[in-house]
Structure 1
Amino acid sequence: MKPQTLWTIIGTSTAILSGVATRQSLKHTSRRHAFEPPVNPDDPEVRWREALLWGAASGMAVGIGRIVGWKLASSGMRRARRTRRGQRVLSKLED
């Protein structure tokens, strides 16, 4: 496997997992402190204000979570390349 392919797999999976975790924690936090997040913003019972606030908050939080995931994966790969054990593992994955 090429090093670029390996990085794409690791970086993308980390970004996806951190985005999902961020969204779930945002749902849990909003239920606990503010309001129940709208399941379907198209529902007539959901007010515009709630739908827009939830969309903005979740979009921003998931975006930040994905960036943090990419940065953590990047620093982890750099750290792994500096150690012998990490180099052995990466060489096995890249071959």
Structure 2
Amino acid sequence: MKTRMFWSMVGYTAVLGASLLTRHTAREAYRKTAGTAPPENPGRRDTRWREALAWGVASGALVGVARVVGHRLGDEARRRGERGRARKRLKG
């Protein structure tokens, strides 16, 4: 049970890291393409609809992809760890 918890934590850490890295990259890409920082609060009155929707769609899609990639990488690491443990049991 402890090993399963460890690999779950590895998976969640991968997801969190991928999400944070992607959000930072998305902000920098927005800053370079739009020439301004992304809207801090898209609900504010001084934020145009077009800017708010563009940032919401772009950041949401990128973070969603990063979460999927993080989950997949975490699950693959867990499977590899479990396979290695199973091989050791068979040999020993």
The residue aligned with 1:19 is 19
Q: Displacement of 1:52 after TM fit? A: 1.0
Q: Displacement of 1:67 after TM fit? A: 0.7
The residue aligned with 2:28 is 28
Distance in 2 between residues matched to 1:70 and 1:20, nearest whole Å = 14
Structure 1 outlier segments of 4+, above 6 Å: none
Q: Displacement of 1:56 after TM fit? A: 1.1
Q: Displacement of 1:83 after TM fit? A: 4.5
Unaligned regions of 5+ residues in structure 2, if any?
none
The residue aligned with 1:5 is 5
RMSD, matched Cα: 2.0
Inter-CA distance 21–7: structure 2 relative to 1 (3 Å threshold): same
- TM-score of the superposition, structure 1-length normalised? 0.75
How many residues align? The count is 85
- TM-score of the superposition, structure 2-length normalised? 0.77
Sequence identity, in percent? 39
Distance in 2 between residues matched to 1:70 and 1:61, nearest whole Å = 14
Unaligned regions of 5+ residues in structure 1, if any?
88-95
